[in-house]
Structure 1
Amino acid sequence: MSVKADPCSQPSLMHPDQAIPKLLEQVRPVTDTEVVTLPETLGRVLAEDLASCIDLPPFDNSSMDGYAFRFEDLNSLTHQTTLTLIGSSFAGHCFEGEITPKSCVRIMTGAPVPAGYDTVQMQEETEADGNLIQINHPKSKGANVRRRGEELRQGTKVLKAGVEIKAAELGVLATIGVSQVQVYRQLKVAFFSTGDELRPVGSDLAPGQIYDSNRYSIQGLLSRANVEWIDLGVIPDDPEAIRHAFRNAANQADMVLTSGGVSVGEADFTKQILDEEGQITFWKLAIKPGKPFAMGRIGKAVFCGLPGNPVSSMVTFYKLVWPILNKMQGLTPSTPLFVNAKLTTPIRKQPGRVEYQRGILSRNAQGELEVAITGSQGSGMLTSMMLANCFVLLEQFQGDTPEGTIVTVEPFNSVLC
């Protein structure tokens, strides 16, 4: 029996893997930079290479609570030696006395190892009798000592330009004493919705009206993308109002982002005004949910037009707009993470477009990765995105996929998690 083709699978549709490089060719990274204090760098993109100005750790220190001593003072025959306690070394309070043969000092984790000592024995493997400390079953010279510079040597490059500063990077910068950082300026993205049928959340709905949900989803996505977003609200279906909104958005933002009004042949003022005000290309992509996508420029701003269906809007943002924003922010390109998992629910699919079905990735009792789709996959069913933690990736000319098949899964990254 022949498989009915997807009515949207015209030969003119472009595979998303082909489209993304072409879309990225149309944008350039920002070059403007600013210097911000360390607490302000979280989520920002580093605009300079940074090297450590100190050794890390800056001194030999203990990785255990215990006793520091010279390994050569131990009895190599009995593997048991009694040493004399002559002081202590705590974090921020170093031992300042002179070491003597057959001596040791009490030491805490992170505290400096006194010069001349080379080994630390954890306290659980010692016995104390007054100031006499018995070292039981010593391991080796240098045990439990973190050497100066073993993590980083002074002058070693720590971070490269193009890195997003996250929690770990923030901690590393603090560890090496960096208080101010040069970063690329934050992108500004303006967005709005159009349509007389859209009503504010909390108001009553008349027949034919719906709540404006896409604007809130876009706001959430932009917040996770570490940009400064500008919400211009709902614009009525009036040509001059839409024209003014586009000009207003382009005058104050690096990107103008909308959802809806980009389908070919759609009777909508949005597409008409775009044609008049910008240099816009309307793309037909072999992606589901999705397909219609617009990109170009309005004034000096990049324009991206998403489909109007809620799931289509989120998927195309994730797969197309997010890489564009990354490049514009100066981020080093990254490759999405894909894993293989066993499908626990059958999937219906017509050949013709790459599909990103919403799935729930988990691990079974045997430790194997499994994935189930969230249920109905209609492009208007936004709850499918809410329930999912991954996309099940189905190739363009793939058909129905039975339960038990090993499929490719793309776990959500921080933009959708």
Structure 2
Amino acid sequence: MLTAQQALDHLLSHAKPVAETESVPMQATLGRVLAENVNSLVDVPPLDNTSMDGYAVRTADTQTSGSILKIAQRIPAGSVGTDLQTGTAARIFTGAPVPAGADAVVMQEDCAIPEGSTGQVQVNVVPTAGQWIRRRGEDLTSGKTALTAGTFLRPQELGVAASAGLTHLNVKRRVKVAAFFTGDELALPGEPLKPGGIYNSNRDTLLACLKSLGCDATDLGIVPDRLDATKAALRTASKDHDLIITSGGASVGEEDHIKPAVTAEGRLDLWQIAIKPGKPLAFGAVRKSEEPKDGEAWFIGLPGNPVSSFVTFLLFVRPFILKLQGRNSAPLQSYTMRADFDWLKADRRNEFLRVKLNGNGGLDLFPNQSSGVLTSASWGDGLVDCPPNQPIKSGDLVKYIPFDALLK
């Protein structure tokens, strides 16, 4: 069996970003991937402005504490003042342009109005040149790159695009993913459970994961445990999708039809990896039609156990989708943390243990690490990446991967 890293490298070596792009109104681009560099249409800010309420002054006029200046003008945000003359100050408010001639802003807390005066200000600190002034173009410069191709557009990126004066963005089309779930024991919440039946938790978990990544996800439902039904579902899914994801039927039992179905409708490149949970992971491709020119849809078969399905999605499907999207993705975040638990029954496979941050700077272990106990993932904050044949003793340093890093 391949190691987790070997399997991931294999998947990523096949993934190619989708080529199609579209121009979309900016407010509709949340969760999309930028297809080209975006240049700012303006300087941001457009003029030197103050970051504080206070008084714009000349430092040459305020060489000593207690300097008294005439208040010559008042400049609220959205207004432009006149040139500041020697011996004067401008009452100024956050965001307002700093008048020509001023080289510092003194915040109002450091100033006072002299007793009995109606048009003067006393500057009680000696300002330094440039203080509390935001310079023209210090955020964005007109004509320069504001956002780079491959950026996943979050609320903050939309704010940058708006400040750059843009109304539309050219983005990659959404990656189209079809998902179906195998198992005659499965039922949807709200349906009566037959003897031996269980509710299908993987459907909601995986579809939510796909949507959180900005995919166009199609739910093809539950497919009966029959080879002909599995093959038919693969043919349907392949036609209009970039990727097919299945859950269940990926093992080697008599009722597991994923392997022969994918082999019949396409090809299987990878089968089983040396991790726990999640050993029966499959990767391959399904023909879109009998015509080779129509291409293939990628296929990833996940285990049926809910924790196995969730963990393998995070570790393998997510980075594969990020590459299909053309996203600029940073290396997976992990941290060295202290284990406040014992895990002495080391497995020969790479284990991913569900853990939670405690109030003492360490990690606690969920007591039941079964691949069927999904509450371990809901309870936990992340995973401990435990190498093969590696026991863990309380106090050991371990590799911790937070769920937050795996769900964006």
Same fold, TM-score > 0.5, yes or no = yes
Q: Do the aligned partners of 1:360 and 1:388 also contact (CA within 8 Å) in 2? A: yes
Q: 1:22 to 1:289 in 2, by over 3 A?
A: same
Alignment of 1:112-127 (within 5 A): 112-127=97-112
Q: Do the aligned partners of 2:258 and 2:301 also contact (CA within 8 Å) in 1? A: no
Question: Structure 2: which amino acid aligns with 1:92?
Answer: G
Q: Do the aligned partners of 2:105 and 2:127 also contact (CA within 8 Å) in 1? A: no
Q: Give the stretch that moved more between structures: 253-262 or 265-274.
A: 265-274
1:106 paired residue among 80, 86, 91: 91
Identity percentage of aligned residues: 40
Alpha-carbon distance, 1:363 to partner: 4.6
Cα deviation code 1:167-190 (max 9, x no counterpart) = 221111111111111111001111
Alpha-carbon distance, 1:415 to partner: 4.7
Q: Does 1:340 align with 2:336?
A: yes
Q: Do the aligned partners of 1:224 and 1:415 also contact (CA within 8 Å) in 2? A: no
Cα deviation code 1:302-351 (max 9, x no counterpart) = 11100111100011111011111011011124211111111112113323
Q: Give the stretch that moved more between structures: 317-326 or 354-363.
A: 354-363
What is the RMSD of the two structures over their aligned residues, measured on CA atoms? 1.6
CA distance in 1, matches of 2:99, 2:204: 59
1:372 paired residue among 364, 386, 405: 364
CA distance in 2, matches of 1:387, 1:137: 53
**Which residue in the other structure is 1:10 paired with?**
none
Alpha-carbon distance, 1:371 to partner: 0.5
Unaligned 5+ runs, structure 1: 1-12
SS at match of 1:359: strand
**Which residue in the other structure is 2:66 paired with?**
80
**Which residue in the other structure is 1:413 paired with?**
404
Alignment of 1:57-96 (within 5 A): 57-74=45-62, 76=63, 78-95=64-81
1:382 paired residue among 356, 362, 374: 374
Q: Does 1:328 align with 2:353?
A: no
CA distance in 2, matches of 1:415, 1:18: 19
**Which residue in the other structure is 2:178 paired with?**
190
Q: Give the stretch that moved more between structures: 385-394 or 18-27.
A: 18-27
CA distance in 1, matches of 2:228, 2:251: 20
Q: Does 1:236 align with 2:236?
A: no
Alpha-carbon distance, 1:143 to partner: 1.5
Query: So what's the TM-score if we normalise by structure 2?
Result: 0.93
CA distance in 2, matches of 1:231, 1:380: 22
**Which residue in the other structure is 1:4 paired with?**
none
Query: So what's the TM-score if we normalise by structure 1?
Result: 0.91
Question: Structure 2: which amino acid aligns with 1:99?
Answer: L
Q: Do the aligned partners of 1:224 and 1:414 also contact (CA within 8 Å) in 2? A: no
SS at match of 1:272: helix
Alpha-carbon distance, 1:271 to partner: 2.7
CA distance in 2, matches of 1:88, 1:312: 65
Q: 1:218 to 1:414 in 2, by over 3 A?
A: same
CA distance in 2, matches of 1:144, 1:278: 64
Question: Structure 1: which amino acid aligns with 2:238?
Answer: A
Q: 1:362 to 1:158 in 2, by over 3 A?
A: farther
Question: Structure 2: which amino acid aligns with 1:404?
Answer: G
Q: Do the aligned partners of 2:250 and 2:257 also contact (CA within 8 Å) in 1? A: no
CA distance in 1, matches of 2:270, 2:248: 12
**Which residue in the other structure is 1:305 paired with?**
301
Q: Give the stretch that moved more between structures: 240-249 or 166-175.
A: 240-249
Q: Which runs of 4+ in 1 moved over 4 A?
A: none
CA distance in 2, matches of 1:395, 1:44: 35
Cα deviation code 1:28-59 (max 9, x no counterpart) = 11011001111111111111112223222210
CA distance in 2, matches of 1:127, 1:92: 25
Q: Do the aligned partners of 1:221 and 1:415 also contact (CA within 8 Å) in 2? A: no
CA distance in 2, matches of 1:179, 1:204: 50
SS at match of 2:150: coil
Q: 1:51 to 1:359 in 2, by over 3 A?
A: same
Alpha-carbon distance, 1:98 to partner: 4.8
Alpha-carbon distance, 1:80 to partner: 2.2
Q: Does 1:397 align with 2:389?
A: yes
**Which residue in the other structure is 2:157 paired with?**
169
Question: Structure 2: which amino acid aligns with 1:283?
Answer: W
Q: Does 1:50 align with 2:38?
A: yes
Alpha-carbon distance, 1:122 to partner: 0.5
**Which residue in the other structure is 2:124 paired with?**
136
Q: 1:313 to 1:266 in 2, by over 3 A?
A: farther
Q: Give the stretch that moved more between structures: 236-245 or 272-281.
A: 236-245
Question: Structure 2: which amino acid aligns with 1:87?
Answer: Q
Question: Structure 2: which amino acid aligns with 1:209?
Answer: G
Q: Say how many residue pairs are matched.
A: 397
CA distance in 2, matches of 1:102, 1:233: 77
Q: 1:238 to 1:266 in 2, by over 3 A?
A: closer
SS at match of 1:413: helix
Q: Do the aligned partners of 1:187 and 1:228 also contact (CA within 8 Å) in 2? A: yes
Alpha-carbon distance, 1:265 to partner: 5.0
2:352 paired residue among 353, 356, 361: 356
Question: Structure 1: which amino acid aligns with 2:225?
Answer: D
